[in-house]
Structure 1
Amino acid sequence: MHFHLFLVILLPPFTPQGQQTHKMAIFLAVFILTALLILYGSNNNNDAFYGPFHVSTSHALKITNLKTWAGKEGYVSVYGNKSLNLRCHQCALVTSSSHVLGSRAGDEIDRTECVIRMNDAPTLGYAADVGNRTTLRVVAHSSVFRVVRRPSEFLQRTDSSPVIIFWGPPNKIGKDAKGTLYRLIQRVSMSSGNLSCFSIAPSKMRRFDSLFHRETGRDRQKSHSWLSTGWFTMVIAIELCDNIKVYGMVPPNHCGKKTASKKMPYHYYKPRGPDECLTYLQNESGRRGNHHRFITEKQVFARWAKQYNITFSHPTW
């Protein structure tokens, strides 16, 4: 919203007798005008704060060594006293983007030492493009019910000993919360002998927030941002993998190109779902409420790619 200010100052006639009054009127006018300009500038700053989101160029970004940023701690076994000992030389990180459709990358993905997936992205019916194996699945608290509803796909696979890492607010999935989601995750872990389930500890959740601030120059809460499952998954993959090949992730400038005019579903398994670029752009510039900053996150991923042996396929960038 923009405000246009009009200030009309009526000054007394300039006479020797009114000279002092004239000076006082000018001083008062300047004072009022200054106050109004400060108020006007404050309103404009609020609009700028909620403007298109991007990595802050005025912030001296601090380089974080993600291999050592949080050590080996921070992943809490949901059932039993298991430790997250997963370590991989080569990883395939398969996104949920519809850009993987038609890639015929399934065999290549399945030949990779470790395969990482997100939320409830299925393999059944899509194996030619996304493969069939799953080593690690990173699941947001908002996707727990969708995962549990399809146990044969996500929880009872006998071809491997997969790991699931759940992330979310500690009051929803924290071990001390004992909430509905935590109890559900615990029952899943108890009933699936070959499945190892972990949640991210509250202390590490705070470190994810701090990492976003360090890498973007933006405070997550003050900027009304939600970290995406992609953000958690990329950081976890860097911790666990020596080399990462990402399938289906577009570069940060993709949605500004003419080639992005073709509608691409946000999820490959929901062909009638929202358009990917529309979702990215709406979240990136969202002013009210909380939003994923997908494009900003990809700007960070592009920088990390040079540090941590990350490559991108379908599309390549």
Structure 2
Amino acid sequence: MGLTSKGQQSHRLVICAAGLVLMTLLILYGSNNASDAGFSPFHVSTHQALKITDLKKWALREGYVPIYGNKTMNLRCHSCALVSSSSHVLGTKAGQEIDQTECVIRMNDAPTLGYDNDVGNRTTLRVVAHSSVFRVVRRPNEFLHRADKQPIIIFWGPPNKIGKDSKGALYRLIQRVSMTYTNVSCFSITPSKMRKYDSLFLRETGRDRQRSHSWLSTGWFTMVIAVEICDNIKVYGMVSPNHCGKKPVSKKMPYHYYKPRGPDECVTYMQNEIGKKGNHHRFITEKQVFARWAKQYNISFIHPSW
């Protein structure tokens, strides 16, 4: 009876141990699935999250060159409003709050005319991708004839298209704009700084931008620039990294607030995140990095809050 009892106890211990191992594996599997939902190819591990660069130590003046003249990019702000181009800003009535902020940062050809109740009217700094230059130039009354005090535009793009040494058609266009609208200070990001943006993406995500067929988004450049120049940043309209993976699925929202018939935001995010052929913006991966930067650099996200 004693041997049988001991055998039964040993058998029960083996079963309990096996059950514990199985339960642990299930928890880990479920946790990974929940974390990776909707953006599995670019999930940032805890190990990668520790590889953080202090963006406050980046040399601001060395990274930007004037398109025309000898101006210096020396903007500094205590508080900044970074207004995204997402349709989530519509209906927020945040315009007055945005305009009361010391510095207001916008992206590409996101307009204010007709939307000022939600996005405000002032613009201190606008970050423009090479692919958006023509859309900005075609609307000078909106983007260039500004009453703002010395507004700044920073252009970014491949050095062979937008660099000072390229002398290409796009650079010449930007140069004419800078010469014509002297009230606006126009700068381009230097090739060496462009490489630093790539290196930053690699350190923060563990992914090589070129090998992973990725293009950094204007949001990525704008957020880094905002961290460089601002002590406190409020981001308007940007959704959280897991927003598009929520169930039930989030309601459809236009990708841009000024293009109501444009593509759906989440569809755009998901397609870009998992796309392997061609080059894609990894919006969700970038937002995972922004979430980590939030506490380090006094960044808060509102409309929606996260």
Match of 2:271 in 1: 282
The letter for the 2-side match of 1:126 is Y
1:149 aligns with 2:133: no
Give me the TM-score of the superposition, normalised by structure 2.
Answer: 0.85
User: Deviation string for 1:183-221 (max 9, x for gaps)?
Assistant: 000000001121000000000000000000000011111
- Give the counterpart letter for 1:194 in structure 2: N
Specify which of 297, 300, 311 is matched with residue 300 of structure 2. 311
Matched residue SS, 2:187:
strand
Q: Distance in 2 between matches of 1:229 and 1:138?
A: 7
- Which of 134, 137, 158 pairs up with 2:147? 158
**CA contact 1:100–1:248 (8 Å) conserved in 2:** yes
Change (3 A) 1:51 1:151: same
Superposition map of 1:10-159 within 5 A: 52-57=41-46, 59=48, 61-159=50-148
**C-alpha contact (below 8 Å) 1:175/1:182 kept by paired residues:** yes
Q: What are the equivalent positions in structure 2 for 1:151-300 lying under 5 Å apart?
A: 151-258=140-247, 260-300=249-289
Distance 2:305 2:50 in 1: 26
Aligned length: 268
Deviation track 1:135-182 (CA, whole Å, cap 9, x = no partner) reads 000000000000000000001112321000000000101000010110
CA contact (8 A) 1:173 1:181 kept: yes
Post-superposition Cα deviations, 1:220-240, rounded to whole Å, max 9, x if no partner, equal 111111100000000000000
Quickly say closer, same or farther: Cα 1:56–1:117, change in 2 above 3 A: same
Supply the distance in 2 between the matched residues of 1:123 and 1:59 (Cα, whole angstroms). 38
**Most deviating of 252-261 and 284-293:** 252-261
Kept after mapping to 2: 8 A contact 1:70/1:204: no
Partners in 2 of 1:293 and 1:70 — Cα distance? 26
- Alignment partner of 2:235: what SS? strand
Shift of 1:60: 6.9
Residue segments in structure 1 that go unaligned for 5+ positions in a row: 1-49
- Judge conservation of contact 2:236–2:303 (CA < 8 Å) in 1: yes
Secondary structure in 1 matching 2:188: strand
SS at match of 2:211: coil
RMSD: 1.4
Summarize deviations over 1:115-148 as a string: whole Å, max 9, x none. Answer: 0000000000000000000000000000000000
CA contact (8 A) 1:51 1:287 kept: no
User: What is the identity, as a one-letter code, of the residue corresponding to 1:191?
Assistant: T
Distance in 2 between residues matched to 1:187 and 1:86, nearest whole Å? 23
Instruction: State whether residues 52 and 286 of structure 1, in contact with CA within 8 Å, keep that contact through their aligned partners in structure 2.
Output: no
Q: TM-score w.r.t. structure 1 length?
A: 0.82
Q: Provide the rounded CA distance (Å) in 1 between the counterparts of 2:234 and 2:176.
A: 33
CA distance in 1, matches of 2:204, 2:270: 20
Identity %: 81
Counterpart amino acid of residue 181 in structure 2: S
Distance across 1 between alignment mates of 2:284 and 2:222:
16
How far, CA to CA, are the matches of 2:64 and 2:113 in structure 1?
Answer: 28
* 8 A contact 2:125–2:154 mirrored in 1: yes
> In structure 2, do the counterparts of structure 1 residues 186 and 287 end up closer, same or farther at CA, with 3 Å as the change threshold?
same
Which structure has the larger Rg over C-alpha atoms? 1
Letter in 2 for 1:234: M
| Distance in 1 (alpha carbons) for counterparts of 2:268 and 2:131 | 18
For residue 56 of structure 1, report the CA deviation from its aligned partner.
4.4
Counterparts of 2:283 and 2:268, CA distance in 1:
9
